[in-house]
A and B are shown apart, each in its own frame.
Chain A
């Protein structure tokens, strides 16, 4: 994927560019908002990571201008401000996701993958039936089967599974789950998400040979068919 990084802090920018390149992306960088906006307007850019406070043109203004020209390029906003209200302002300005500094590179990479997928797979949103290996989820009837066998889930476990299915093959972090499934934006001191995942794992993996729900060390979880 071709990613644009607009960040004025050189240390952060270089580390970000390096990590993205290592993850297999091609990277363009800009160190101010004006240049960033010009580069982001190019059709070649598939995704943009924009710092919120930039010289020449503020990150939020950049995103607003980009959206005003009709560009739907997914944008992840990086912010060194607080998160309670600033996240809302960031998303309202046209950002697709919002990450507060300091962040883990694994968190950022997971979110970029999710954003990229959302870009090319609006169809996944519309699909009423999700399928991974022998696991099937019917979003209309809320029926879950594996290998033809019906699996009983609570409402929340179903939401959790649905979220994981929509991001199957990707790494999903705990914060993404708390945001995506519960709509909360904080880090609980207790491992609440892990316990919900282990319950879901009990339900969908326990009686079957091949596990589908994997733990990705240091990052989060991934629902995928292991080769």
Chain B
């Protein structure tokens, strides 16, 4: 796998997707929780400051009624200097908004009647430098057109709120990062395990039944599953080997008497005159033995292909198809049939070269058998979808659509074919070999003729 593909593979894996969903849920939870705390704290802090200011304003309002202007200014100045009330701000201005008393240098740039509560910034000394502080104040009129601001430095409060906000954002980001990172890690782990399992499964599908899924020394679900699948594979292997044994004994028990028959007939033939009746009878016997042998070979090959226990190798399909075409080209030329071919290079499949060759030979034998003189046979090896595809088509009579399924079964020969030689197992073998290679066999109309496609 390419690194990029592996990366994308992890992103598509189920643990990663689950991790994404959970990260979002947790992030949402963090927002709700910390957000709630943030608003509650703001409410309390803001409310208590406002209450303090309200109380101070109330006091000053009472004082202004009883004190002379100069005494009031004195009072304001005094309050402004008072170190006990840290962070408190006062400003008294005349009708032209010029400062009269207080610890704020100038009336903030706001409209005079802009509501009761105002927020503004004031430069305050901070070490050697100054710093803009956020102030919250109540403004109210005094007798004689004078106005007054009473407020409080809320910068600290603001700082706490900002800190909480930053914490909130950090918590969300961290949740997301941890969730996604964990998901990615778990995804890779699962993907690695799944990859190992699917690699083995592919080998098993290809017929190597001795393969077992990797089991690690852990008690997780995947290992339990792998162990169970492995014991299932043990059973399948036993069954398949049993089938193979039955097949071998059947082959042995049928070939041995046939061999005796052949040997006896051939031995009896030596010394007989070429045209004698006895010799002709014996020749009939050996011809029948040959026929039985080829039927037996075909049946055994079909059965073998169906057990799936055939040894696999990398087969150069391009070379195979080209060489089969080359093998059949002279014979088709002799029969005045044009054998055309188009073969792409570099097509490879895993499988049995001999069985694939036999299947192709059967298709070509069939095509030659049914194509009339002057006809055409086309053999194609092309790329189609995910894998290569072999097409053999002729312009013979073809097979009626309703009988195509039928001919793939054992020993089905359509009436038209009965007078021609053959065991009737040709297409069954093609079907078995196709299945063995995990390919798909399609019969359709070549208009006119039959088109057989093997899709790998």
Chain A residues with CB under 8 Å of B421's CB are 189
| Interface stretch (choices A12-20, A26-34, A144-152, A168-176) | A12-20
Given the interface contacts A81-B248, A81-B251, does A185 sit within 8 Å of B259 by beta carbon?
no
| Residue from B251, B301, B334 having most chain A Cβ neighbours under 10 A | B251
Cβ contact within 8 Å between A53 and B252: yes
Chain B residues with CB under 8 Å of A140's CB are none
Q: B13 on the interface (CB 8 Å rule)?
A: no
| Residue from B247, B358, B422 having most chain A Cβ neighbours under 10 A | B358
Cβ contact within 8 Å between A19 and B267: yes
Chain A residues with CB under 8 Å of B435's CB are none
B121 to chain A, nearest CB (A): 91
Instruction: Digitize A144-188: 1 where CB-to-B-CB distance is under 8 Å, 0 elsewhere.
Output: 000000000000100000000000000000000000001011111
Offer 23 A-B interface pairs, CB within 8 angstroms, sorted by A. A11-B260, A11-B264, A12-B259, A19-B270, A22-B270, A80-B251, A80-B252, A82-B247, A82-B248, A83-B297, A84-B354, A100-B297, A102-B263, A103-B262, A105-B263, A184-B361, A185-B354, A186-B354, A189-B362, A189-B422, A192-B328, A192-B330, A196-B327
Cβ contact within 8 Å between B300 and A82: yes
Chain B residues with CB under 8 Å of A22's CB are 270
- Label chain A's interface by main secondary structure: loop
Q: A101 on the interface (CB 8 Å rule)?
A: yes
Given the interface contacts A102-B289, A192-B327, does A80 sit within 8 Å of B255 by beta carbon?
yes
Chain A residues with CB under 8 Å of B352's CB are 84
Chain A residues with CB under 8 Å of B361's CB are 184, 186, 188-189
Cβ contact within 8 Å between B354 and A101: no
Partner of B255 from A85, A100, A191, A199 at Cβ < 8 Å:
A100
A209 to chain B, nearest CB (A): 25
Residues of A in contact with B, size category:
35 or more
Q: B293 on the interface (CB 8 Å rule)?
A: yes
Cβ contact within 8 Å between B310 and A85: yes
Q: A9 on the interface (CB 8 Å rule)?
A: yes
Q: A104 on the interface (CB 8 Å rule)?
A: yes
Q: B326 on the interface (CB 8 Å rule)?
A: yes
**A9-B259, A189-B426, A199-B330 known, 17 other contacts, Cβ within 8 Å:** A18-B267, A19-B270, A82-B301, A82-B304, A84-B310, A85-B304, A85-B311, A101-B255, A102-B255, A102-B261, A104-B262, A104-B266, A105-B263, A189-B362, A189-B422, A192-B328, A192-B331
Cβ contact within 8 Å between B262 and A82: no
- In A31-84, the 8 Å CB interface with B consists of 53, 80-84
Using a CB–CB cutoff of 8 Å, the interface residues on chain A facing chain B are: 9, 11-12, 15-16, 18-19, 22, 53, 80-85, 88, 100-105, 156, 182, 184-192, 195-196, 199
Cβ contact within 8 Å between B256 and A187: no
Chain B residues with CB under 8 Å of A80's CB are 251-252, 255-256, 259
Cβ contact within 8 Å between A188 and B255: no
Cβ contact within 8 Å between A156 and B310: no
Chain A residues with CB under 8 Å of B64's CB are none
Cβ contact within 8 Å between B328 and A190: yes
When chains A and B are docked, how far (Å) is the Cα of A196 from the Cα of B334? 10
When chains A and B are docked, how far (Å) is the Cα of A102 from the Cα of B368? 28
When chains A and B are docked, how far (Å) is the Cα of A137 from the Cα of B331? 26
Cβ contact within 8 Å between B264 and A101: no
Given the interface contacts A19-B267, A84-B310, does A195 sit within 8 Å of B330 by beta carbon?
yes
Given the interface contacts A19-B266, A105-B266, A192-B328, does A186 sit within 8 Å of B358 by beta carbon?
yes
Cβ contact within 8 Å between B328 and A101: no
Instruction: Digitize B306-331: 1 where CB-to-A-CB distance is under 8 Å, 0 elsewhere.
Output: 00011100000000000100111011
For A13, the closest partner residue in chain B by CB is B263
Chain B residues with CB under 8 Å of A188's CB are 327, 361, 365
Chain A residues with CB under 8 Å of B262's CB are 102-104
Q: B355 on the interface (CB 8 Å rule)?
A: yes
When chains A and B are docked, how far (Å) is the Cα of A199 from the Cα of B333? 11
Cβ contact within 8 Å between B330 and A196: yes
When chains A and B are docked, how far (Å) is the Cα of A84 from the Cα of B308? 12
Q: B294 on the interface (CB 8 Å rule)?
A: yes
Chain A residues with CB under 8 Å of B368's CB are 190
Cβ contact within 8 Å between B260 and A88: no
Q: B258 on the interface (CB 8 Å rule)?
A: yes
Chain A residues with CB under 8 Å of B266's CB are 15, 19, 104-105
Cβ contact within 8 Å between A187 and B326: no
Cβ contact within 8 Å between B327 and A15: no
Q: B399 on the interface (CB 8 Å rule)?
A: no
For A9, the closest partner residue in chain B by CB is B256
Nearest 6 pairs of A and B residues by beta carbon? A15-B263, A101-B259, A80-B255, A102-B259, A102-B262, A195-B330
B240 to chain A, nearest CB (A): 13
When chains A and B are docked, how far (Å) is the Cα of A189 from the Cα of B270? 27
When chains A and B are docked, how far (Å) is the Cα of A34 from the Cα of B354? 33
B118 to chain A, nearest CB (A): 95
